[in-house]
Amino acid sequence: MRVLHQIHAHILTHPHLPPSTFSFTLSKILCFVAYRNVTYAKRLLSQIPNPTIFSYNTLIRGLLSQNPCQEPIFLFKKLLHEKFPKSNTFTLAFLLKSCSILAALKEGQQIHRHVIGSGFGSNLFVQTSLLNFYMKCEEVSLGRKVFDEITEKNVVAWSAMIGGYSRVGMVNETFRLFRDMQRAKVEPDGMTMVSVISACTVSGALDLGKWLHAYIDKKAIKNDLEISTALVNMYAKCGCIEKAKEIFEAMPVKDAKAWSSMIVGFAIHGHAEEALETFALMEEAKIEPSNVTLIGVLLACAHGGLASEGRKYWSCMLKSRIEPSIEHYGCMVDLLCRANLIEEAYGFVESMPIDPNPAIWRTLLVSCKKNKMLAKGEIVAERLLKLEPLNAENYILLSSLYASRSDWVKMSHVRKQMKDRGIKAIPGCSSIEINGFVHEFVMGDWSHPEAKEIKEILRDIEVRVHGTGHEPWIAAVLRYVGDEEKRDALYEHSERLAIACGLLKTKAPEVIRIVKNLRVCADCHEVTKIISRLYNREIMVRDRIRFHKFVDGACSCRDFW
DNA sequence: TTAGGGTTAG
């Protein structure tokens, strides 16, 4: 920067330079400066007489590397208003990038209209930026339309579309497009692979993930830091923590993201000690922990029941450069609640310098319910319902708190409140990958082509589980129906449909791997334990919070979740 | 005379 300042000063003090050289040199300095110091870049731009579009583009690109802001859009409006200099494909691509960062749909669509009007609609860079913008705004069909209109699709265009599908969770579309890309004879690169692996991570598609891993080796795609991190994350989230560890240990270079992936992986598997050992090794390796690393560490302490260690890491964090975020506070509340330190957790929430979010109040309410703390639970529920009056889960929790104390009057009052307000529960959704296809199940949805066979397996499960003396915990079902229907409702919980599908379509010793969008309910947890014993199958369930490994009638979480 | 689009740990 010092040298740049000197050149800048030299130019300004030599006004005899030809105007074109003067402008060109300043615009070159602007290039170097834009990423580092936007304020300085703006001053430079103001010193260039009649700056070309190149200089404006440089500034816009610099602004993109800063915190997300509307400034590129304001700058574009100014250019449009002044009609000079005219924007080019670079301007439009950078602006679309800005809109994608902000997920600014309206502004991006205005730029799209400008793209068409200015005749740049067939420029590959602009098209790729457009499709990426729509996908970041989760406008999937608009993004796909732009993609389909690209005549010469290169690896970047394919990757942008694949990455877009992956981000919005359209797993089967991600894989389908990846296969289309191969058919189109476009070779995927590292970035493409990271996106496809990430889709496996989200959906828990282990077999596809393993296939991709082999594909990377076969095609000799450079197995760099990003790919290795994606693989560590994929194996950990697909239930293979040992394989994740193997890849992680073989990595020659590890950054904070790689370390965090491993730590979070151990944490969600309930391997608290290994998570903390890994964190200690990270510190030894002098890699600065990030905010996510600390979330992993606190998560590990919470799931491992290590309250005092958690407090220790918390106070270390307060002394560090990491600003505790709402997620960190959430982890601490979870940690204290799991250790049944509910009063301490409540005090902690009361003293938070930032407003507690619904998730934090819900954690407290779950604990109050578990410990049948009615008075405290009512206070917590009031705060929660004020913040989030439309979430069915909150009413279900409060209702089961009353149920746990046999307060049927208050329980039915909550149910009525829920009914009057027209609040419906978020449907549970579970998935299972079989032969490269992810089957999704929503509670009570029988649209699966093999629904009849799945129903037969469910009936078999019901009879056999009943034979062990298990009584369904029907208080978990909040519906205005008789007990029999409630029993049926439990048997139609999405994870049971997915487990039944796994039993139908796979054979032992293959592990049945399920991914669920919500937490596993108490009855499903109990029944899955029984199924693992009765059918002699290992069942892995990844719920919203963590992994459960069911083997021979027991769960790896030791019923602590 | 200058430059560009796609990924990555919660």
Would you list the DSSP string of A373-427? -HHHHHHHHHHHHHH-TT-HHHHHHHHHHHHHTT-HHHHHHHHHHHHHTT--PPP
Give the residue, A458 or A45, on which the prediction is more confident. A458
pLDDT digits (tens, 9 = 90+) for A119-134: 999 999 999 999 999 9
pLDDT at A436 over 60: yes
CA A426 to chain centre: 18
Give the residue, A16 or A45, on which the prediction is more confident. A45
The per-residue pLDDT for A15 is 64
Considering only CA atoms, which residue is closest to the C1' of nucleotide B10? A292
Give the residue, A235 or A492, on which the prediction is more confident. A235
Distances in Å between the Cα of A359 and the Cα atoms of A363, A375, A424, A457, A491 are 6, 20, 18, 36, 28
Q: Which nucleotides of B are covered by protein (CB under 7 A)?
A: 1-10
Domain assignment present for residue A40? The answer is no
| Residue A475 CB-density burial (10 A; 0-12 exposed, 13-18 middle, 19+ buried) | middle
pLDDT at A244 over 90: yes
A479 shares its domain with A527: yes
Cα–Cα distance for residue pair A342/A523, rounded to 1 Å = 24
Domain assignment present for residue A494? The answer is yes
Distances in Å between the Cα of A202 and the Cα atoms of A72, A279, A318, A359 are 33, 24, 32, 21
A487 shares its domain with A510: yes
| Residue A18 CB-density burial (10 A; 0-12 exposed, 13-18 middle, 19+ buried) | exposed
- The residues, any chain, with a CB within 8 Å of residue A24's CB and separated by 6 or more, are none
Considering only CA atoms, which residue is closest to the C1' of nucleotide B8? A226
Judge contact between A33 and A4, C-beta under 8 A: yes
Q: A364 phi and psi, to 5 degrees?
A: -65, -40
Judge contact between A557 and A269, C-beta under 8 A: no
SS3 label, residue A551:
strand
How many other C-beta atoms are found inside a 10 Å radius of the C-beta of residue A145?
Answer: 13
Q: Which nucleotide is nearest to A91 (CA to C1')?
A: B4
Give the residue, A519 or A194, on which the prediction is more confident. A194
Q: How far is the CA of A276 from the C1' of B6 (A)?
A: 35
pLDDT at A466 over 90: yes
Label residue A40 by pLDDT band (50, 70, 90).
confident
Rounded mean pLDDT of A176-192?
A: 97
CA dihedral over A206, A209, A215, A218, signed as positive or negative: negative
A438 shares its domain with A495: yes
Omega before A85 within 30 of 0, i.e. cis: yes
For the ranges A214-223, A228-237, A395-404, which has the lowest average pLDDT? A395-404
Rounded mean pLDDT of A437-447?
A: 90
Last-in-domain residue among A425, A457, A477: A425
Judge contact between A314 and A344, C-beta under 8 A: no
A473 shares its domain with A420: no
- For chain A, give the longest Cα–Cα distance: 98
Considering only CA atoms, which residue is closest to the C1' of nucleotide B5? A125
What average pLDDT is seen over chain A?
Answer: 92
A370 shares its domain with A477: no
pLDDT at A476 over 60: no
Q: Which helix (H) or strand (E) holds A440?
A: strand A437-442
Q: Is A16 left (phi over 0), alpha (psi -120 to 50) or beta?
A: alpha
Q: Using a pLDDT cut of 70, give the percent of chain A over it.
A: 96
A444 shares its domain with A381: no
* Token representation of residue A366: 């779950």
- As for how many domains chain A has, the answer is 2
Domain assignment present for residue A399? The answer is yes
A393 shares its domain with A435: no
Rounded mean pLDDT of A385-403?
A: 91
A444 shares its domain with A421: no
Label residue A515 by pLDDT band (50, 70, 90).
very high
Q: How far is the CA of A415 from the C1' of B7 (A)?
A: 46
List % helix, strand, coil for chain A (3-state, nearest 5): 65, 5, 30
The per-residue pLDDT for A561 is 74
A467 shares its domain with A407: no
Domain assignment present for residue A493? The answer is yes
Cα–Cα distance for residue pair A273/A239, rounded to 1 Å = 18
Rounded mean pLDDT of A457-486?
A: 78
pLDDT at A72 over 60: yes
Q: Which domain holds residue A388?
A: 363-425
A460 shares its domain with A407: no
Q: Which nucleotide is nearest to A124 (CA to C1')?
A: B5
Cα–Cα distance for residue pair A146/A109, rounded to 1 Å = 12
Q: Which helix (H) or strand (E) holds A96?
A: helix A89-102
Q: How far is the CA of A378 from the C1' of B5 (A)?
A: 53
Rounded mean pLDDT of A432-443?
A: 93
Query: For residue A140, what are the β-bridge partners?
Result: none
Cα–Cα distance for residue pair A279/A277, rounded to 1 Å = 5
A438 shares its domain with A411: no
The per-residue pLDDT for A231 is 98
Cα–Cα distance for residue pair A276/A299, rounded to 1 Å = 10
pLDDT at A345 over 60: yes
Q: Which nucleotide is nearest to A259 (CA to C1')?
A: B9
pLDDT at A327 over 50: yes
A412 shares its domain with A438: no
Domain assignment present for residue A467? The answer is yes
The per-residue pLDDT for A480 is 47
Label residue A355 by pLDDT band (50, 70, 90).
very high
pLDDT at A481 over 60: no
The per-residue pLDDT for A18 is 76
For the ranges A217-231, A268-282, A333-347, A477-491, which has the lowest average pLDDT? A477-491
For the ranges A175-179, A371-375, A430-434, A489-493, which has the lowest average pLDDT? A489-493
The per-residue pLDDT for A25 is 76
Rounded mean pLDDT of A462-467?
A: 94
Last-in-domain residue among A425, A447, A472: A425
Last-in-domain residue among A378, A406, A425: A425
pLDDT at A175 over 50: yes
Cα–Cα distance for residue pair A294/A232, rounded to 1 Å = 18
Domain assignment present for residue A391? The answer is yes
Domain assignment present for residue A543? The answer is yes
pLDDT digits (tens, 9 = 90+) for A257-267: 999 999 999 99
